[in-house]
A = this chain, B = another copy of it.
Amino acid sequence: MSQANLDTSSAFLDACAAAIGAQHVLTGTHDAAPYLADWRRRYRGAARAVLCPADTREVAALVKLAHAHRVALVPQGGNTGLAGGATPDASGQQAVLSLRRLNRVREIDPHNNTITVEAGVILAEVQARADEAGRLFPLSLAAEGSCTIGGNLSTNAGGTGVLRYGNTRELCLGLEVVTPEGEIWDGLRGLRKDNTGYDLRDLYIGAEGTLGVITAAVMKLHPLPAARVTALAALGSAHAALDFLALAQRYAGPLLTGFELMSDFCLQLVGRHFPQLRYPFQSRHAQVVLLELSDNESEAHARALFERLMEAALEHGVVEDAVVAESLAQSLAFWNLREHIPLAQAQEGLNVKHDIGVPISRIGQFIEETDADIARVVPGARMVTFGHLGDGNLHYNVQAPEGGDPKRFLADNEKTLNRIVYDNVARHRGTISAEHGLGQLKLDEAAHYKSAVELKLMRALKAALDPLNLMNPGKVVR
């Protein structure tokens, strides 16, 4: 990071300092640096300054100034995104707008099952505050200790609870947004039903800050389940996992809150790098599924339900083996296996990552065909395939052949592998970004696969709401 990354000579910055206090306008290289690169260090940008307003009015004041001075803004939450959506470009002309200081929980309304939070509240704090009120906020993902709810909303984050509770989009009832002109839209409604015009809320959700700045939100809460119990099932193929999912949904209905697929190679990697985590079956199986039940009655009821399900699945030959957690500790141990897959693959070295989704019914076929296509082009490539099968969302990652140099593998094969994977995704009418968004990482890929009509519609919306192109330009749509 050189000094040249920060252009501090600006009437704009003086006005910003007057609006929010000079100490909240970061221009020093040292102070600003953490905001100028994404956490995976894939993108490094520059900026005139990092602006840290304290509340919605200050955000509005800054956006008005940016509008007047024609300065482009890059909204940023916890800076945990995986697509570079919150990193400024290299020009040094943009300003980062950090929402971290908007960190108040404004209201909890247990009877309405809602919590009203500012954009900078950390996801784990939303969960904790809901729990204190005897409610569940079900959004849960790896970065929950540092990501913010504003970032979750702007990227429509997914995570492990989508099967039952939906994405961040489905958990949001209302928003407060600062428009690109610096006006405040108060859409903080805590209503389950409201049919009075265009759905502005869902337009801002997932827009990655390109249409306005989300400053607060009313989020849905759910009843706290009495117990959560997990189980593992061993299967012969991903195809079998589809039949098993249908069976599990028939038995458990909405109590089924998790259905995660892990290929055998994923668990081999976990075993290699985290040998303390025990492989749960006597023999190896092609696929393992982690199931979670959230039961409103009791742990005993959940376990009994699991036992009935597994008996039926074994009887029908859908699963090859199964184990139901007998304690909370064992439930956590099962989740631990799943959560160590990303860590284990990182230990193994860089790989080519894909966050794809296809219709659930196509998953078996997609894996089979794409595995074969990749094997033809890069013999020995090792597939790290895991993810939220119940949502049709796979982390379909490709690791260098055993003993190969990961960096070299990436440099030689990333483009080719992306094309193979995304072409197959498109053929199955899937998505190239199921839960990570587009940011700058997948902007061009999205433009490649979307229809001309869809791109035209997206551009029309962007031009209508942000005609000066000052809100996070170069992200999502060009």
Is there an interface contact between A453 and B183, defined as CB atoms closer than 8 Å?
A: yes
| Interface mask (A98-129 → B, CB under 8 Å = 1, otherwise 0) | 00000000000111111000000000000000
Question: Given that A112-B392, A361-B109 are known contacts, is A199 also in contact with B202, CB under 8 Å in the complex?
Answer: yes
8 Å CB contact of A179 from B196, B250, B457: B457
| Residues of A in contact, count (CB < 8 Å) | 97
Instruction: Please report whether the interface of chain A is mostly helix, strand, loop or mixed according to DSSP.
Output: mixed
Chain B residues whose CB sits within 8 angstroms of the CB of A392 once the complex forms: 112, 191-193
A242 nearest CB neighbor, chain B only: B111
Report the Cα distance A7→B473, complex, angstroms: 49
Chain B residues whose CB sits within 8 angstroms of the CB of A438 once the complex forms: 195-197
Q: A240 to chain B: closest CB distance in Å?
A: 12
Copies of this chain assembled into the complex: 2
Question: Given that A242-B111, A249-B223, A254-B255 are known contacts, is A195 also in contact with B437, CB under 8 Å in the complex?
Answer: yes
Q: Please tell me which stretch of A143-151, A154-162, A340-348, A403-411 contacts chain B, meaning at least 4 of its Cβ atoms lie within 8 angstroms of it.
A: A154-162
Cβ of A477 within 8 Å of any chain B Cβ, yes or no, is yes
Report the Cα distance A61→B458, complex, angstroms: 23
Q: Please tell me which stretch of A19-27, A314-322, A424-432 contacts chain B, meaning at least 4 of its Cβ atoms lie within 8 angstroms of it.
A: A424-432
Is there an interface contact between A296 and B437, defined as CB atoms closer than 8 Å?
A: no
A202 nearest CB neighbor, chain B only: B202
8 Å CB contact of A197 from B114, B200, B358, B450: B450
Is there an interface contact between A199 and B206, defined as CB atoms closer than 8 Å?
A: yes
Cβ of A203 within 8 Å of any chain B Cβ, yes or no, is yes
Q: A401 to chain B: closest CB distance in Å?
A: 30
Is there an interface contact between A457 and B465, defined as CB atoms closer than 8 Å?
A: yes
Q: A433 to chain B: closest CB distance in Å?
A: 5
Q: Which of A185-225 contact B (CB under 8 A)?
A: 185-200, 202-203, 205-207, 211, 222-225
Q: Give 18 pairs: A residue, B residue, CB < 8 Å, sorted on A.
A: A113-B360, A189-B429, A190-B429, A192-B360, A192-B392, A192-B393, A193-B435, A195-B436, A196-B431, A196-B433, A196-B438, A197-B450, A197-B454, A198-B206, A198-B462, A199-B206, A252-B296, A297-B305
